[in-house]
């Protein structure tokens, strides 16, 4: 019997749960190795062997070893919520909405997130880790600007508002990701945006 054919018939929910468990297992194993023997002395081969997964399985979930120190879902969840925010909302309220609704959609347990952030702070001085973090922030900044331009229906080469919004979010992300200063929950981020652009009083 072709196992792949059988697996293809598995309920989508079951497949997604299996993927999530595999992804989480790889991450837990990797963080444990990083804590004991350091980032540079841990290899992808060691992670795969300890997690009992093939190299191709590892790369299906994590593009690089550095990516294990970052939550790739964090930016994606916010960006998807920003793009899906009600069309009548202006940029700041739309991003505030995205940050608020994303709070409960981040899958990692709090303890796992805390371990990863502690290791990221510990290893941020490693050039490859630092550069990966900067590249991730740049990618999110670009996507925020693209979504903002689409919401405003403007050309971002002529209207600087999308880039300005992306730069603001990038600055907050850099504070957390690169500088290791936790600004708090996403609700704190949302409150910050609200304070920067308070709603106009009703006439």
What's the confidence (pLDDT) of residue 101? 84
Task: Using the predicted structure, report yes or no on whether residue 177 has a pLDDT greater than 80.
Answer: yes
Global pTM value: 0.81
Give the residue, 52 or 106, on which the prediction is more confident: 52
Please say whether the beta carbons of 44 and 55 come within 8 A.
yes
Q: Please list the alpha-helical segments (H only) found in the chain.
A: 3-8, 12-37, 44-51, 55-61, 72-84, 91-102, 110-123, 127-152, 161-177, 186-196
Give the residue, 98 or 190, on which the prediction is more confident: 98
Q: Which of 30-34, 42-46, 109-113, 150-154 has the lowest mean pLDDT?
A: 109-113
Give the chain's domains with CATH numbers: 3-62 (1.10.10.60), 67-196 (1.10.357.10)
Handedness of CA 11, 17, 21, 22 (dihedral sign): positive
What's the confidence (pLDDT) of residue 104? 64
Rounded to 5 degrees, what angle do the CA atoms 133, 176, 132 make?
A: 5
DSSP output for 27-68: HHHHHHHHHHH-STT--HHHHHHHHT--HHHHHHH-SSSGGG
What's the confidence (pLDDT) of residue 6? 44
pLDDT class of 58 with cuts at 50, 70, 90: very high
Mean pLDDT of the chain: 86
Task: Using the predicted structure, report yes or no on whether residue 56 has a pLDDT greater than 80.
Answer: yes
Q: Which of 47, 61, 52, 64 is nearest to 133 (CA)?
A: 64
What's the confidence (pLDDT) of residue 62? 96
Q: How far is CA 195 from the centre of its chain?
A: 24
């Amino acid at each position: 019997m072709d196992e792949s054919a059988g697996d293809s018939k598995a309920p989508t929910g079951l497949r997604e749960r299996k993927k999530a468990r595999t992804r989480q297992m790889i991450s837990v194993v990797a963080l444990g190795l990083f804590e004991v023997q350091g980032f540079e002395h841990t290899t992808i081969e060691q992670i795969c062997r300890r997690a009992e997964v093939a190299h191709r399985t590892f790369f299906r979930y994590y593009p690089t070893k550095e990516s294990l120190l970052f939550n790739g879902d964090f930016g994606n969840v916010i960006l998807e919520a920003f793009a899906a925010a009600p069309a009548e909302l202006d940029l700041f309220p739309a991003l505030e909405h995205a940050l608020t609704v994303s709070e409960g959609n981040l899958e990692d347990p709090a303890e796992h997130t805390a371990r990863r952030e502690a290791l990221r702070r510990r290893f941020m001085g490693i050039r490859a880790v630092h550069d990966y973090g900067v590249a991730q922030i740049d990618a999110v900044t670009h996507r925020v600007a693209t979504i903002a331009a689409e919401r405003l229906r403007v050309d971002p080469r002529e209207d600087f508002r999308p880039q300005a919004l992306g730069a603001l979010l990038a600055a907050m992300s850099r504070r957390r990701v690169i500088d290791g200063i936790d600004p708090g929950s996403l609700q704190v981020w949302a409150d910050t945006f609200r304070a920067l652009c308070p709603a106009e009083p009703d006439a």
